[in-house]
Structure 1
């Protein structure tokens, strides 16, 4: 038989679900300890709010009881749910794994120990992330610089409560998606490590070289040259911004970018945030950089650079570098300019007070390694292939996160029921 829905203080839920307060289905902060007095010589893991990243406990300190900070007071057990009560909208919530059973967390957390006959810990955790729960936290928390909830506030938070078997099934489905996200995360970390290693290897040692030489930029293959960036470019072009007070300068068909739009090593149609008109171009310092050249941030977002795969106009934060393609492969240069060494160098050279900047002359004189063109192209191809793999993995993660969000909104409201 199909059941209907009922109105509740937290929205519509199925007729056979209840609305409960966290204080009804959990024990809040059930155990406390003063390690300095009660266990001065014992060693503990100490979980702080900063230890929580992406619903996982990471970067946990070990402390000796006598050295414990004054906030190290709450004892946690396996399967406790801990939620940050300081700025809870940042969502530092997690289930305590077996490794941290009997350890200590900060008083900046509320420890929720589930009454097992009433609520499933993972079901509770997923509910904490829902907008309706965060909205309740925002209404209840007090304080200015560090708004927080007290224990009474936490106990008042309301969530929907299906029968226990349904809770477990909902938690199982969402956990399956979380496991898939975790696997993709691991693949991303692995590919990022590979990319970093390849950049270090290929941009300093090249491919198949056995003889090397010491140069102003370090040890490089004997066949490579060291040149200035200006030696492989025809022109360096600054940009500008059409007046935002003149409507007819905007929403045209000319792509226009700022440094904020450089989020990858290339710029394509998907990178474009704004468009200007021909009039906007002609009545400002904005300039069009023809495709397959280099664009580098020299004022805001210093050090970011990309190859533009399309003709694009740039603003004053950017410099367009018109390359001599018979000497330089654009993607080889963009990989070199995005290496940690060069990014750090460019950032350290910035000058100015409010807005830092790099003079164009400095960019022209920047020393770079120059392999033979075929080797540049091969290095660029290898690094671009790895970067595309990384991009695909990140898109896969985004897709899984969208799926999870949709499932949470359906399953935790009862709009979609599960068979148990």
Structure 2
């Protein structure tokens, strides 16, 4: 029940920001909270950097105190939100965060939970601007309205959510461990296959076994849509585990010469040449046989192999530890945008047995991969259900409908 709740703008609920310039104290050490410092799964700060004032990034400007809540305005729908713990009192965070320092009328933890409310999430999604790095402004955040109950009701809601989320997070952690173990088992099997070479394996440079390479078609976000003529594969369609994900392919327009040049064929290897540092270099086999032309984005390189190379074997090789180590050394650029160019990639060294042996090895790897993916699907479904449960509890909390009994019942059912 929300008869006593008041609708207030964020600007009226928080104190003014405290800014600082660490470079004015060049010899002093500062604890720096970057945009990547917040764990999205745990919603906590899990990594900080100790920097001297003289070496502080230009974005290190916002002084934080224990009890502050930080909200990343860069890619706001990723919900990088965290409460500043006592151990980080006096740290400096990036200007990529909006710092919310609650006034006495609102509890820090209630404010923290409010930023996860569906209404706030959808407002941020609607307001974000920019194609490559969508963001909202501090003013966008300040202008949002939140429903605020009296302090006793805030305390009651926070207590219920804390208890429920602690139990949910325990189950999430266990499920994520199971998921990681399934992937590690496959990775270990893959590594053993490629580290136990028999006779007849030949090591070659990529350039020697490629029949053609092609960087994809340029189409900006405004030129992409749902009802256009051709499918358009982007870097997000390549998973971090080197699999093709065809669920959310956008569409673009293209003329006949462009279709001929950028059309994908079954067994093309897709290599992500530009991305964030940790994701650049991921690849996958395009294993779909479609009559309808499907094109690909300019952040992807299409690689086609000569006849003596089985494309599926090459795709597994690109995911192997030895090749990933080579790719790691080729990355250039910044943390946000890195690249691997063909002038480096062409010299990567790959070892192949005979074509028949390649196919035999792939059959074994495909069977193991299929079993792994079944397990992954089960764990992902559970993680999705737990995330939805959190959203459901938040919705009930900010609708005035959350009770201890409802929360306990929902958590017990979801974690059974």
The equivalent residue for 2:353 is 370
1:124 Cα shift? 1.5
Of the three residues 71, 76, 83, the one matched with 1:95 is 83
Classify 1:316/1:367 alpha carbon distance in 2 versus 1 (closer, same or farther; 3 Å): farther
Within 5 Å, which residues of 2 pair with 1:139-288? Answer: 148-149=137-138, 157-162=144-149, 163-164=153-154, 165-189=156-180, 191-192=182-183, 195-203=186-194, 205-206=195-196, 221-226=197-202, 263=239
Cα distance in 1 between the residues matched to 2:366 and 2:122: 48
1:225 Cα shift? 2.7
Cα distance in 1 between the residues matched to 2:136 and 2:295: 39
Deviations 1:3-27 (A, max 9, x none): 5xxxxxxxxxx32433244466554
SS of alignment partner, residue 124 of structure 1:
helix
Of the three residues 300, 303, 316, the one matched with 1:335 is 316
Superposition TM-score, scaled by structure 1 size: 0.57
SS of alignment partner, residue 352 of structure 2:
strand
The equivalent residue for 2:413 is none
1:405 Cα shift? 3.1
Of the three residues 110, 115, 139, the one matched with 2:99 is 110
Query: Is the radius of gyration larger for structure 1 or structure 2?
Result: 1
Aligned CA RMSD, in angstroms, stands at 5.9
Classify 1:44/1:374 alpha carbon distance in 2 versus 1 (closer, same or farther; 3 Å): same
Classify 1:80/1:297 alpha carbon distance in 2 versus 1 (closer, same or farther; 3 Å): closer
1:370 Cα shift? 2.0
SS of alignment partner, residue 76 of structure 1:
coil
1:110 Cα shift? 1.8
SS of alignment partner, residue 404 of structure 1:
helix
Cα distance in 1 between the residues matched to 2:161 and 2:250: 39
Classify 1:82/1:100 alpha carbon distance in 2 versus 1 (closer, same or farther; 3 Å): same
Deviations 1:144-180 (A, max 9, x none): x986326xx8666431123121343245434544454
Classify 1:271/1:154 alpha carbon distance in 2 versus 1 (closer, same or farther; 3 Å): closer
**1:400 equivalenced with 2:386 (yes/no):** yes
1:100 Cα shift? 1.8
Deviations 1:176-201 (A, max 9, x none): 44454444445555555555454344
Cα distance in 1 between the residues matched to 2:387 and 2:313: 33
The equivalent residue for 1:353 is none
The equivalent residue for 1:294 is 267
Deviations 1:327-354 (A, max 9, x none): 97x7545312444766877xx9xxxxxx
Cα distance in 2 between the residues matched to 1:333 and 1:48: 37
Contact 2:269–2:283 under 8 Å retained in 1: yes
Gaps of 5+ in 2: 215-228, 275-280, 297-301, 331-339, 406-416
Cα distance in 2 between the residues matched to 1:154 and 1:285: 44
Superposition TM-score, scaled by structure 2 size: 0.57
Cα distance in 1 between the residues matched to 2:142 and 2:247: 46
